[in-house]
Amino acid sequence: MTEINISTAADATDNIISLQSTGKFYGWWMVLAGSVILFVSSGIGFYSHGVILDPLRTAHGWSKGTISSAITLYFFATGLMGIIIGRQIDKYGPRRFLIIGSIIFGLGFWSLSGIDKLWQLYASYLIMAIGFSFTSLIPVNTLITNWFIRKRGLAMSLANTGLSAGGVLLVPLASYLVIHRGLKMALITLGTLYGIVIIPTAIFFIKQRPSNVNQLPDGDLGEVILSVRSTSPLSHESQMRVWTRYQAMGTVAFWSITVAFLLALGGQIAYLVHQMSFLSQYIGPQGAALAVSMTAGASIVGRLFLGVFVDRCDKRYVIIACLLIQGLAIITLAYNNHIVILYLCTFAFGLTMGSIIMLQSLIVGECFGLVSFATISGVIGLFSMSGAAFGPMIAGSIFDAYQSYQNAFTLFAGASFLAMFVILFAKPPKQS
């Protein structure tokens, strides 16, 4: 077995990391584990908001705007927690956060099942937000970014397939539980499932970095790493550069990514949260649940298709294409409610939905490397998730005022089109 010594630019103290080539590359197990975690965290912590919005409204008599404001708090708190935990995940790894977060989220869902006052609604969503931030994209995509460089797009597309699979399988389950077992039992069951799946996966599979098992990113040998050193943003030196929050915030790329995804996610999350309610007006609750699953299923297709070639493309232009499709789908839904159009636009929206959030992680990794990925993602997430946070509240408030989603969808389609221009400025910063 050949010993390999590599000096990384990430080590401020110029430490030498001694690694040995081993057997099968363990990184693909990280992809599988990440997919399982995202399957549960997205299916319950992301997609289920639309399923329980109307039942909460019926059970307590609160308006859509009121409940949507709790969801706004949820996503805003998720973004805020990202900036808090990002540096800690870079330092200590995601395992402990996944375990603690799954417990916290489960408790939040359990508490939501027993509320009868408005302040309890907000408290439950705040608890859930803390747990969700510990178990969603930042820890999982940090893991994938650590384990892959050249094959990062493919690996992340496979891992992030769990996001969509959660929507395909867990949304119908959540809908079934609400209809046949009641809202309270549905929330208790889903909250329990969250921990049952994520905790064992984190304990038995998660390894923070390839060096933990004497391997290198992509399963490469040291000679391969040394041979690809260049000024490329995916070169070893670029990927191992350490960024502080303030250094990153001083770059054009940081703000381009931040503003573009704030605009993009504002419309995306607003539509997803209100999708069940919007579509139920035309195709009923069961048809709407099918459409939500179709959205998630289409995102699997789109993400896997993207994963085949995204590593060879300029990420900015891929993002622009996805934003164009998202904007066109939302604006069409605003003005045409024919059943065929509803399903076609649902499918088109789904094709890009999962890819957009994945592309945020990919372009952050390309611009700022892997060493400080969670730190930078946490800061960007604080801003971009603000769009996700306020989008549902804006949509709910507009619906309450006009009894229609048309104006809200028009606004969010315009935001997607504006984001297409903003993302053009997201070029990897030059190293000093």
* pLDDT tens for each residue of 102-121: 999 999 999 998 898 999 99
Instruction: From residue 382, give the alpha-carbon distance in Å to each of 79, 104, 142.
Output: 4, 20, 16
Tell me what the mean pLDDT of segment 237-246 comes to: 74
Decide: 95 and 30 in contact? Cβ < 8 Å.
Answer: no
Mean pLDDT calculated for residue range 6-14: 34
Most confident range, picked from 83-92, 122-131, 170-179: 122-131
Task: Give the lowest-confidence range in 76-85, 139-148, 245-254, 387-396.
Answer: 387-396
The answer to whether residues 106 and 187 touch, using CB atoms and an 8 Å cutoff, is no
- Assigned domain for 84 exists: yes
CA distances to 48, 173, 211, 259 from 357, rounded to whole Å, are: 18, 24, 28, 14
Segments forming the whole domain that contains residue 305: 22-213+229-425
Is residue 171 a part of any domain in this protein?
A: yes
> Does residue 163 or residue 344 have the better pLDDT?
344
pLDDT beyond 90 at 20:
no
Q: How far apart are CA 197 and CA 99, in angstroms?
A: 10
Average pLDDT value over all residues in the chain: 84
Average pLDDT estimate for 397-411 = 89
Distance between CA atoms of residues 219 and 146, nearest Å: 12
DSSP 336: -
For residue 279, the domain's CATH number is 1.20.1250.20
Q: Tell me, what's the pLDDT at 385?
A: 75
Q: Residue 255 and residue 426: Cα distance in Å, rounded? A: 8
Specify the higher pLDDT residue, 334 or 212. Answer: 334
Query: Is the pLDDT score of 77 beyond 60?
Result: yes
State the average pLDDT over residues 306-330: 91
Amino acid at 55: P
Residue 106 is assigned to a structural domain of this protein: yes
Cα 170 from Cα 184, distance rounded (Å): 17
Look at residue 7 in the predicted model and tell me its pLDDT: 34
On whether residue 158 sits in a domain, the answer given is: yes
The pLDDT value recorded for residue 235 is 57
Residue 4 located in a structural domain: no
Identity of residue 65? G
Residue 218 resides in a domain? no
Task: Give the pLDDT band of residue 432 (cuts 50, 70, 90).
Answer: low
N-to-C CA span, the chain: 38
The answer as to whether 94 is a domain residue is yes
Has residue 410 been placed in a domain? yes
The helices-and-strands tally (H runs, E runs) of the chain is 17, 2
User: How far is 381 from 386, CA to CA, in rounded Å?
Assistant: 8
Q: What is the pLDDT of residue 100?
A: 96
Q: List b or e across 127-151, with b for residues whose CB sees 16 or more CB atoms inside 10 angstroms.
A: bbbbbbbbbbbbbbbbbbbbbbbeb
Question: Tokens in use for 133?
Answer: 């931030």
Rg of the chain's alpha carbons, rounded to an integer? Answer: 21
165-197 pLDDT tens trace: 888 889 889 989 999 999 999 999 999 999 999
The number of domains in the chain is 1
pLDDT at position 91 is 84
Residue 149 or 10, more confident: 149
d(CA 139, CA 377): 10
Q: What is the mean pLDDT of residues 307-313?
A: 83
pLDDT beyond 50 at 3: no
Tens digit of pLDDT for each residue in 261-300? 999 998 898 888 888 888 888 888 878 878 888 887 898 8
pLDDT value of position 326: 95
Pick the residue with more confidence: 5 or 160? 160
